[in-house]
C-alpha cells in the first residue's frame, strides 16, 4: 500500500488534470457505482464524519473518501474539513493507496467551477470576483484561471485581513494578475465578469440587482439546507442555471431549496447537470448579456475521477 | 498520519491485548456509535466492498474498516478478505492512522472465540478440535490457547495438505503442543473438549450426535445466510447458546436462520450476547456435562476495540 500526503498529491496532480479527468469520467458515467453517503454526527452542530464510497467498474478501482467536519476548528487554526481517500483494486481486493483527500476535494471543486465557467461564462471574461477567501478559495481561482483570460481579481471577505492575506498569496503565485481587495461587495459584483462564491453564509452575500448583464456566477458555498449564500432573486434573471449534481443540489443547497419552496424558482427549470452540459458540448449562453449560474454541492463520483487520476500520476512517478 | 502494515501491527498487538480491549469495550458500550454497514457488490457472487464505521465518543476516536471480499482470490494465492482501517480523532478531525485491518480482523475474531471459551468451556479443557485450517484458523487457535490449558490440537480440513501445513506452523510456534491431523471429522469431534469451526461450508461440517457431553463449540464460519457449518440438531442439545452480536447472527448466520425457520431453535432461546456474558461475569455452564455453543459473525465495535488498542500500542512504541 502506498501513502501520499497533501504535498505529494499537490506536486503531482494539478487543475488541468482534474478538469480533464472529471470531463472524461462524464463519458464513463455508466461505469460508476456510488451509494448514499453515510453520515455519523459526532458532536454539536455540523460536527460529523462523512463516508462517501464509489467504484469505477471498468477500471476496477474503488475509493472511499472519509471526511471529518469540525466546525470550531478554524478557532484553533485547523481546517474545518479534513479528508482521506483509500483506493482499492476491486479485481484483486488489494488496498492500493491512501491519498490525502483535502487538497483533492478543493481541487475537484475548483475544477467543477472551472468546467462551469468554460461552458457558461463569456469567453472574454477578464475579471473574477471572489466572495469568501477561506480554505476553498485558492483552487476556485485556479479553476477559473485555467479556462478564462482573467486579468484582474476582486476579493471580498467578511474579515478583510484574510482577504489581504489571500491577495498576497495570489500575487506571489501569479505576479501578472491585478488583485484588489474591496470593502463593499457591490463594487466587486459590478466589476466582475465571473463571480465565484465560497462562503458558509446563511444569508445572501450579494444583491441580485447589482449583477450586471453577462455575468456568470459559481456558487460552491451552500452545501447544507441552512446555508444560503446566493440571492435567489438572481434565479429568475438567469438565462441558464446548471447544477453539478441535480439530486445533491435539490437536497442540500439552502438558497435553491428556499427559492423552490417560495416558487421563485422550480427545480425543473434547471438547464441540466454539469455532466449533460459537458457531454452535449452545450455552450449555455446565447448572448453576452445572459446571466448564468452554476451551483455545486459535490458528489462522490467527482472524487472518484480525481482520486484515480492522482493515483495514476503518483504511481507513474514513484 | 501514521501508516502501519500487517507485520508492524502484528508485532505490537497480541491476543492478550485483543481479549482485554474487547472485554473493556463492553463496559463502555454506551460510548459506541455504529451505523449499518455499507455494502457495494463489485462482481459475481459475494465479491463486494464492505464499509463499517464506528466511533468511541469518550475516547473521541472513530474508525472505518474497509474490507474487500474477492471469493476467487484463493485460486490466485491471495486472501479472500483484505481490510484496511482508518482511525480519526473526532475532536480535531485529524486522520491519525491507517492500520492493516486483515490481521486485526482475524485477531478480534480469535479473541471473541477466546472470550467465549473462557466463559463457556470446561476450565479443564485440554483438547481443541479445529475444523477448517484456512486464513482465520491461526488466531482461533491463539484465542483458545490464551484461556484454556490446551495440550492437544486435532485438525480437520477438506484439503488434507492444508491441515498438514497448518500443523507444521503450529508446531513451529508451539513445540510443546501435540497436533494431529485426522481423516475423519468424527474422530476430532469425539476427542475435543472445545470444537472450533472456521469454514465457509454450506452444509454441516460435523454431526450433532457425535458431540460428547461437556463440549463447547465455537462457530465463526457462517457469516452469510447460505452458509451453514454447524449442525442445527446441536442447538436443542445445548444448555447455553451465546451470540457475539444478536442482531448480526439473526440476519447473517445460515444454520441459525434455518433452525429458527424450522422451529428447531428460536432466537429468543439464546442465553445472551457476549457483552452480557462478560458484563454479568456469567459462567454459562452448570455442569461438566453441558454442551455449549458460541456463534460469531462479527460487528463493527469489535474492530473499534482492537483498532484503538493497536493504535495506542503502536503510537507508544513509535
Q: Write the CA distances from B17 to B2, B295, B309, integer angstroms.
A: 21, 22, 7
Sign of the Cα torsion A138, A141, A32, A227 reads: positive
SS3 (DSSP) at A63? strand
Q: How confident is the model at residue A44 (pLDDT cuts 50, 70, 90)?
A: confident
Residue B263 makes CB contacts below 8 A (sequence gap 6+) with none
Q: How confident is the model at residue A45 (pLDDT cuts 50, 70, 90)?
A: confident
CB–CB contact B93 A79 (8 Å): yes
pLDDT digits (tens, 9 = 90+) for B2-57: 999 999 999 999 999 999 999 999 999 999 999 888 999 999 888 999 999 999 99
A161 Cβ under 8 Å from any chain B Cβ: no
Residue A207 has what pLDDT?
97
Cell of B139: 488466531
Round to whole Å and give the CA distance between A149 and A140: 15
Note which residues in 82-141 of chain A have CB less than 8 A from chain B. Answer: 82, 84, 86, 88, 90-95, 98
Please report, in tens digits, the pLDDT of each residue of chain B (318 residues total).
999 999 999 999 999 999 999 999 999 999 999 988 899 999 988 899 999 999 999 999 999 999 999 999 989 999 999 999 999 999 999 999 999 999 999 999 999 999 999 999 999 999 999 999 999 999 999 999 999 999 999 999 999 999 999 999 999 999 999 999 999 999 999 999 999 999 989 999 999 999 999 999 999 998 889 999 999 999 999 999 999 999 999 999 999 999 999 999 999 999 999 999 999 987 777 889 999 999 999 999 999 999 999 999 999 997
Residue A114 exposed, middle or buried by CB count within 10 Å (0-12, 13-18, 19+): buried
Does the pLDDT at position A74 exceed 90?
no
Please, are residues A310 and A5 in contact by the beta-carbon 8 Å criterion? no
pLDDT digits (tens, 9 = 90+) for A48-59: 999 999 999 999
Round to whole Å and give the CA distance between A117 and B71: 46
In total, the C-beta contacts within 8 angstroms joining chain A to chain B are 124
Round to whole Å and give the CA distance between B118 and B97: 32
CB–CB contact B98 A1 (8 Å): yes
Residue B13 has what pLDDT?
98
Q: Write the CA distances from A79 to A9, A73, A187, A248, A312, integer angstroms.
A: 18, 6, 29, 23, 27
Residue B115 has what pLDDT?
98
Residue A116 has what pLDDT?
97
Question: Which of B245, B200, B207, B194 lies closest to B37 in space, CA to CA?
Answer: B245
Nearest beta carbon to residue A84 from set B47, B49, B86: B86
Of residues A179 and B222, which shows the higher confidence score? A179
CB–CB contact B43 A70 (8 Å): no
Mean pLDDT of A204-219: 97
pLDDT digits (tens, 9 = 90+) for A94-107: 999 999 999 999 99
Mean pLDDT of A273-292: 89
pLDDT digits (tens, 9 = 90+) for A8-34: 999 999 999 999 999 999 999 999 999
- Chosen for mutation from B7, B49, B80 (greatest number of chain A CBs closer than 10 Å) is B49
B300: how many CB neighbours lie within 10 A of its CB? 23
Residue B156 has what pLDDT?
98
ipTM reported for the complex, 2 dp: 0.90
B76 Cβ under 8 Å from any chain A Cβ: yes
A307 Cβ under 8 Å from any chain B Cβ: no
Does the pLDDT at position A223 exceed 90?
no
**Which residues on chain A are in Cβ contact (under 8 Å) with B78?**
92-94
Q: Write the CA distances from B244 to B23, B247, B267, integer angstroms.
A: 12, 9, 13
Residue A97 has what pLDDT?
97
Of residues A200 and A255, which shows the higher confidence score? A255
Instruction: Give the alpha-carbon dihedral of A260, A265, A269, A274, to 10 degrees.
Output: -80
Q: How confident is the model at residue A283 (pLDDT cuts 50, 70, 90)?
A: confident
Round to whole Å and give the CA distance between B90 and A104: 21
Q: Domain-by-domain residue ranges, chain B?
A: 2-104+301-317, 119-299
End-to-end CA distance of chain B: 13
Q: How confident is the model at residue A160 (pLDDT cuts 50, 70, 90)?
A: very high
Nearest chain B alpha carbon to A77: B92
B171 Cβ under 8 Å from any chain A Cβ: no
Round to whole Å and give the CA distance between A207 and A234: 8
Q: How far is B97 from chain A (nearest CA, A)?
A: 10
B264 Cβ under 8 Å from any chain A Cβ: no
Residue B318 has what pLDDT?
79
**Which residues on chain B are in Cβ contact (under 8 Å) with A307?**
none
Residue B100 has what pLDDT?
96
Tell me which fold the domain A119-299 belongs to: Rossmann fold (3.40.50)
Residue A143 makes CB contacts below 8 A (sequence gap 6+) with A15, A19, A110, A111, A112, A113, A114, A115, A117
Residue B285 has what pLDDT?
78
Homologous superfamily of domain range A2-104+301-317: ornithine cyclodeaminase, domain 1 (3.30.1780.10)
B246: how many CB neighbours lie within 10 A of its CB? 19
Amino acid at each position: 500500500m502506498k501513502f501520499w500526503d497533501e504535498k505529494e498529491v499537490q506536486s503531482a496532480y494539478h487543475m488541468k488534470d482534474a478538469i480533464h479527468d472529471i470531463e472524461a469520467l462524464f463519458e464513463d458515467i455508466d461505469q460508476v457505482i456510488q451509494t448514499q453517503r453515510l453520515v455519523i454526527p459526532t458532536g454539536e452542530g455540523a460536527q460529523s464524519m462523512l463516508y462517501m464510497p464509489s467504484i469505477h467498474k471498468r477500471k476496477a478501482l474503488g475509493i472511499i473518501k472519509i471526511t471529518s467536519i469540525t466546525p470550531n476548528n478554524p478557532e484553533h487554526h485547523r481546517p474545518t474539513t479534513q479528508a482521506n481517500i483509500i483506493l482499492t483494486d476491486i479485481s484483486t481486493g488489494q488496498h492500493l493507496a491512501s491519498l490525502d483527500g483535502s487538497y483533492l476535494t478543493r481541487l475537484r471543486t475548483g475544477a467543477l467551477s472551472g468546467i462551469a465557467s468554460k461552458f457558461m461564462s463569456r469567453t472574454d471574461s477578464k475579471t473574477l470576483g471572489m466572495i469568501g477567501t477561506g480554505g476553498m478559495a485558492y483552487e476556485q481561482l485556479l479553476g477559473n484561471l485555467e479556462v478564462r483570460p482573467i486579468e484582474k481579481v476582486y476579493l471580498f471577505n467578511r474579515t478583510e485581513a484574510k482577504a489581504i492575506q489571500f491577495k498576497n498569496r495570489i500575487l506571489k503565485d501569479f505576479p501578472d494578475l491585478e488583485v484588489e481587495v474591496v470593502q463593499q461587495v457591490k463594487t466587486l459584483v459590478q466589476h466582475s465578469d465571473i463571480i465565484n462564491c465560497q462562503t458558509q453564509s446563511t444569508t445572501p452575500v450579494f444583491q441580485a440587482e447589482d449583477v450586471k448583464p453577462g455575468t456568470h456566477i459559481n456558487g460552491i458555498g451552500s452545501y447544507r439546507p441552512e446555508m444560503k449564500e446566493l440571492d435567489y432573486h438572481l434565479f429568475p434573471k438567469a438565462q441558464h442555471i446548471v447544477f453539478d449534481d441535480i439530486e445533491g443540489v435539490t437536497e442540500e443547497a439552502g438558497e435553491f431549496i428556499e427559492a423552490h419552496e417560495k416558487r421563485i424558482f422550480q427545480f425543473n427549470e434547471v438547464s441540466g447537470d454539469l455532466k449533460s452540459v459537458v457531454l452535449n458540448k452545450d455552450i449555455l449562453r446565447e448572448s453576452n448579456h445572459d446571466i448564468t449560474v452554476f451551483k455545486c454541492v459535490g458528489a462522490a463520483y467527482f472524487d472518484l475521477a480525481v482520486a484515480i487520476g492522482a493515483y495514476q500520476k503518483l504511481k507513474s512517478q514513484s
